[in-house]
A and B are shown apart, each in its own frame.
Chain A
Amino acid sequence: MLTSRTFVRRTRAGAVVKVVREHYLRDDIACGAAACRLCPPAAANGSAPGPEARPSGPASSLCPGPHFLLPDTNLLLHQIDILEDPVIKNVIVLQTVLQEVRHRSAPVYKRIRDVIQNPEKHFYSFTNEHHRETYIEQTRGETSNDRNDRAIRVAVKWYNEHLKKIEDEEKIQVVFLTNDRTNKEKALEEGITAYTCEEYIKSLTANPELVDRLACVSDEGKELEGGKIIFPEHIPLSKLQQGIKSGIYLQGTYRANRENYLEATVWVHGDGEENKEIIVQGLKHLNRAIHEDVVAVELLAKNEWVAPSSVVLQDDGQNEEDIENEEEKENILKTSVNKDMLRPTGRVVGIIKRNWRPYCGMLSKSQIKEARRHLFTPADRRIPRIRIETRQADTLEGQRIIVAIDGWPRNSRYPNGHFVRNLGSAGDKETETEVLLLEHDVPHQAFSQAVLSFLPKMPWSITEEDMKHREDLRHLNVCSVDPPGCTDIDDALHCREIGNGNLEVGVHIADVSHFIRPGNALDEESVKRGTTVYLCEKRIDMVPELLSSNLCSLRSNVDRLAFSCIWEMNHKAEILKTRFTKSVINSKASLTYAEAQLRIDSTTMNDDITTSLRGLNKLAKILKKKRIDNGALTLASPEVRFHMDSETHDPIDMQTKELKETNSMVEEFMLLANISVAQKIYDEFPEFALLRKHPAPPPSNYDILVKAAKSKAIILTIFASFFLSFQNLEIRTDSAKALAESLDKAESPTFPYLNTLLRILTTRCMMQAVYFCSGMDNDFHHYGLASPIYTHFTSPIRRYADIIVHRLLAVAIGADRTYPELTDKHKLADMCKNLNYRHKMAQYAQRASVAFHTQLFFKTKGVVNEDAYILFVRKNAIVVLIPKYGLEGTVFFEEKDKPTPKLEYNSEVPSLTVEDTTLCVFDKVKVNIMLDDSNIQHQKMRMVLVEPKILGSDMPASLSAEASTKDEPEKKKKK
């Protein structure tokens, strides 16, 4: 039967259009019950089976008989955690519900789809909207919500009547679950068995642990009765939108401050210049916003503006009622500040979109025995603590758990949430790795069967077909140079003399795009992962291992498919000709950096590969010099390497990474290949080339660097020359070349590490390098490399961007077909956004992993005494760097139970005077390092300042530091 659904809709342009959809009603839709003989049997298409004939769900004291559950939309949205529990089975999900869920929350929709797919769960999605007897039309005066509620009730009724017809001794009942009071009343009136979720879950006497996972969404009104109201009300969305349009409010992304829980910034998404930051300070002004939410803020009057505080504050109040205490803390923020430092300040008036996700963290058990309400402390310090209700606090103590936020009523100091999952005990390596992968949103599940099905069949060999568009380069003396233990080799090099006195240099990159064809499940999974994530002892692959470590990896003495970039160069390293081709190579050797270095330096070895390496090395040096002359920056960031115990996989030693000449040799050619490819694909596809840019940082970013350099000059006059160079720098940071030169000049014979420190600080001033689509942007410059155009081509095994670049280049040289998505600049721009996000997250995960291993390392080490340099000075703390371990830590000068030492902060220099000792940037200090595991959640590196001694404080232990992973700008991956 045909009917049509009509609705009116407003288009984005403001027009009102009437939309009419044809809607077909059928009478052959199965109810899904296995015992049902009235319905046509479901097509055996391998989809998950429906509810069981004898529902085997958990025993409920409310309805002892066999029953199916039928939840409504809100219940599904809020209590998805419960529904995902293996105990809950035999649930009917109506199409109406599914559609509403899809509309309101994409993540929940995905989760429920997954549950429906799972054959163990016996979930069944019933297309009630297309069933002749359950389809209803919206009646006059009924809102679409009411209509959907009614549709759900009609379906429940139909089910009950339908199941009655099954001739069976025991009737199956359908239980309607809703938390909506009016809906439940209406259902009961109509003779439907209906319970709230709470009632039902509590009735599952055999499974009391489920109650913990109930989301606490009680009526707002009820909550408000008790307790005093802490927060101002949120303004409703419709009013917010009007306000934003008229400019009273500003819309932006809320970013909580990692170091100070009473401060946050809101990034206003404006066009161009309006893109600004607004500071929000104090609990009331923060008004229950949580990190990453999209919020509306109202600017305060100018006389109420504040400066970003340099105080480090952590929320560690145990008691909820200590609001007065908070006010006290807030006052700390309002210390007198320089007028110039004042920034636009605002308060959050409403939430436009919550961006809650399940958070990893630990339970802070309530001190009251037998208490059920506990606070949960998330691992991410930007997330406030969450109050959860659980009866298994004893088992959960010391475990890493996942908690989801349900809501944040106005009278509650903390948001309410519920327990989701237990990850394992804290400090455990597996658990911690899982936590950091989850916290950084790194997809790390095993590859699905669908993805694996697109892998080539083994044994694999190169076919005639493959050779058609390929050049056979197997005769060349190609070799690869990589760090030790590398199994995903994606680049190899060669260099040889050709007749005319010139050199032929080739960079051969694994041809991953040959194996990953656009649009299939393998491709989709790779684009979702975006990058391979390297942790200290684990690698989360972007592509399945068969490809990453075998078929694509350019191992020695096997034939491998490659994408080659071949130049003809003269001995001055000037490029005479550039050629790209798909090829087949056979690497003659896989070397480590050290091995390659040995060969180059050796006087006895003179084989083809060694000559080739020497040629490459010679050219690389010239290339590097040229690049630096052009103004490319050489920056430093301490990189750490762990030596692992082969048995326990515990770190036994820790060193900063050492760079050899061969590192820079490989790097130089990779840069060259990337630039050549970038130029080629941009020439060929000016609108949709995927490129990488590194914007020049705004001059204000350098403030801290210039100030720091100056301070050194003021205090230590021996740095006169250095001072001058920084005077120059002040004017000339606009060009990378000037900066590079100033950095080179900033040497001091008495302080050799100074240069490195400056370079580390400079790195912090840099912007992030990002991928972008050439058709959507017009600034292509790569500031750090001083190259007008750049892309990533050389690591397709571990970066998805390179695969796209490979595809573009293959189309450009006629070696492959194009496909629609490749030439859609909007899709490409979206992809860039995801890739940039994944790269950032991968880096944070990597840093977190290093931090964790550092802690493991110091756990075994005990107390260590080391030299350190002050990197930054804060109002009540200093940030130090220990060069030996590349470890960075914040040192506090206040502690709760101790008298606060007299602190004097000078923001001009910047320096901090503690009692009589003045500490300023770049000062060399000595610290004792040890692991502070008093708080298992955030194990800290506790540091004791040994030199200089602070007068008046005989207890140096009052100075603690903790290893922190700073948001430093992406360190440049040159490969």
Chain B
Amino acid sequence: MASVVLSEAEKLYIVHGVQEDLRVDGRGCEDYRCAEVETEVVSNTSGSARVKLGETDILVGIKAEMGTPKLEKPDEGYLEFFVDCSSNSPELEGRGGEELGTDIANTLYRVFSCENSVDLKSLCIDPKEHCWVLYVDVLLLECGGNIFDAISVAVKAALFNTRIPKVRVLEDEEGTKEIELSDDPYDCIRLNVDEVPCIVTLSKIGYRHVVDATLQEEACSLASLLISVTSKGAITSMKKVGKGSLDPESIFEMMETGQRVGKSLHIALQKILDEEENLGTSRPKVGFLG
């Protein structure tokens, strides 16, 4: 992951500021940076979203493909995550970013391992035979701190945007099955994203913790806690990152903050997604030129 090198004096300045609930860019400890969300940015995906959170820039594309259900869950589809961060910095190019990519992908698997997060049963076409597999491809375009939160927001937005063509399974007397595709492009399945969690990363800086840390702030933090929160405030998973340790007391504090911040994050995101949806097809696309 891209990192910045700070002098002791700079770090001290940041740490002291956080102590006073005054961050370098003027935010409070529980404030997010300004975020931009746009969906349907890559037309040949089933769903896509681009999220800019401060400097951080994430593109998520979801492709729905037909596959066979997993043996242990014959009546469900599944999600596959892949994170590519090669475009980020020279050291992550080629195979350099693989480790980080796998790390983030694994975190996403954990976040989505909760049964309710996505209705996987709706992805089943024909038990044991066919199901939809959603390939979630995350592209880290720019890393400006707090990538996990940005990625989770982008994934949720992309899932919201995902449209899977409706297929029907026709069965004749002999039991042979035939999959038929509807020729109306509007005839498609939408996913319910109400239960899709977002990650809130709380970075411990000095005695306090902040959300949405910038790169500089991340450099000052020894440990942070990733909490995935649903829109109702339920915590579905938790992970500690960083080399430092956290004492139980502050973990509870951080969880509380995470729930609170997460709920408002969900509300804000859903509002903006609905607004965009209502603009319909006439919405001028910003894309990468905007």
Contacts and interface: CB of A to CB of B under 8 A. Distances in A.
Contact of A16 (B65, B185, B281): B65
Contacts of B170: 242
Nearest to A146: B184
A15 B66 contact: yes
B176 A245 contact: yes
B185 A242 contact: no
Contacts of A138: 184-186
Contacts of B178: 242, 245
Interface string B202-216: 000000000000000
B66 A16 contact: yes
A139 B281 CA distance: 11
Interface string A1-26: 00010111110001110111000000
B209 to A, nearest CB: 43
A9 B165 CA distance: 10
A16 B181 contact: yes
A646 interface: no
B172 interface: yes
A246 B181 contact: no
A138 B182 CA distance: 14
B176 A6 contact: no
Interface string B179-195: 10101111000000000
Contact of B176 (A7, A18, A246): A246
A793 B4 CA distance: 76
Interface in B152-185: 165, 167, 170, 172, 174, 176, 178-179, 181, 183-185
Contact of B172 (A4, A16, A141, A242): A242
Contacts, number: 53
Contact of A248 (B174, B179, B181): B174
Contacts of A242: 170, 172, 176, 178
B7 interface: no
B86 interface: no
A272 to B, nearest CB: 22
A248 B66 CA distance: 28
B165 A6 contact: no
B43 interface: yes
B66 A8 contact: no
Contact of A8 (B172, B174, B179, B185): B185
B172 A7 contact: no
Contacts of B45: 18
A140 B186 contact: yes
B184 A142 contact: yes
Contact of B65 (A9, A15, A144): A15
A138 B183 CA distance: 11
A20 B184 contact: no
Contact of B167 (A16, A137, A139, A245): A16
A395 interface: no
B44 A141 contact: no
A141 B65 contact: no
Nearest to B130: A14
Nearest to A242: B172
Interface in A1-57: 4, 6-10, 14-16, 18-20
Contacts of B181: 8-10, 16
Interface in B31-76: 43-46, 64-66
Given A6-B185, A20-B43, A143-B184, A246 B65 contact: no
A514 to B, nearest CB: 48
A15 to B, nearest CB: 6
Contacts of B184: 138, 140-144
Interface residues on A, range: 20 to 34
A153 B184 CA distance: 20
Given A8-B165, A8-B185, A143-B184, A18 B46 contact: yes
Contacts of A248: 174
A531 B26 CA distance: 86
A14 B165 CA distance: 14
Contact of A18 (B44, B167, B172, B281): B44
A246 B172 contact: yes
Contacts of B183: 143-144
Interface in A709-731: none
B145 to A, nearest CB: 34
B219 to A, nearest CB: 42
Nearest to A9: B181
A104 to B, nearest CB: 15
Given A7-B185, A8-B181, A16 B174 contact: no
Contacts of B43: 4, 6, 20
A605 to B, nearest CB: 78
Contacts of B44: 18-20
Contacts of B66: 14-16
A729 to B, nearest CB: 47
Contacts of A143: 183-184
Nearest to A8: B165
Contacts of B65: 15-16
B124 to A, nearest CB: 15
Contacts of A18: 44-46, 165
A235 to B, nearest CB: 12
A137 to B, nearest CB: 8
Interface in A811-855: none
Given A6-B43, A14-B179, A18-B44, A246 B174 contact: yes
A140 B163 CA distance: 14
A242 B175 CA distance: 11
Contacts of B64: 16
Interface in A123-160: 137-144
Contacts of A6: 43, 185
Interface in A639-667: none
B229 to A, nearest CB: 32
B65 to A, nearest CB: 6
A662 B202 CA distance: 101
Nearest to B164: A16
A20 B43 CA distance: 7
A9 B183 CA distance: 9
A187 B227 CA distance: 60
A25 to B, nearest CB: 15
A23 to B, nearest CB: 11
A248 B174 CA distance: 9
Nearest to B174: A246
A15 B181 CA distance: 11
A164 B167 CA distance: 47
Contacts of B186: 138-141
Nearest to B43: A20
B189 to A, nearest CB: 12
Contacts of B165: 8, 16, 18
A143 B184 CA distance: 6
Interface in A231-257: 242-243, 245-248
Nearest to A138: B185
Among B45, B172, B184, residue most surrounded by chain A Cβ atoms (within 10 Å): B184
Contacts of B46: 18
A245 B171 CA distance: 12
A143 B186 CA distance: 10
Given A9-B181, A20-B44, 13 more contacts: A18-B165, A19-B44, A137-B281, A138-B185, A138-B186, A140-B184, A141-B186, A143-B183, A144-B184, A242-B170, A242-B176, A243-B172, A248-B174
23 contacts: A6-B185, A7-B185, A10-B179, A10-B181, A16-B64, A16-B167, A18-B44, A18-B46, A20-B44, A137-B281, A138-B185, A139-B186, A140-B186, A141-B184, A142-B184, A144-B183, A242-B170, A242-B172, A245-B176, A245-B178, A246-B174, A246-B176, A248-B174
Kindly list the 6 A-B residue pairs having the minimum CB-CB distance in the complex, ordered from nearest. Answer: A140-B186, A20-B44, A246-B174, A8-B165, A20-B43, A246-B176
Interface of B: 43-46, 64-66, 165, 167, 170, 172, 174, 176, 178-179, 181, 183-186, 281
Interface of A: 4, 6-10, 14-16, 18-20, 137-144, 242-243, 245-248
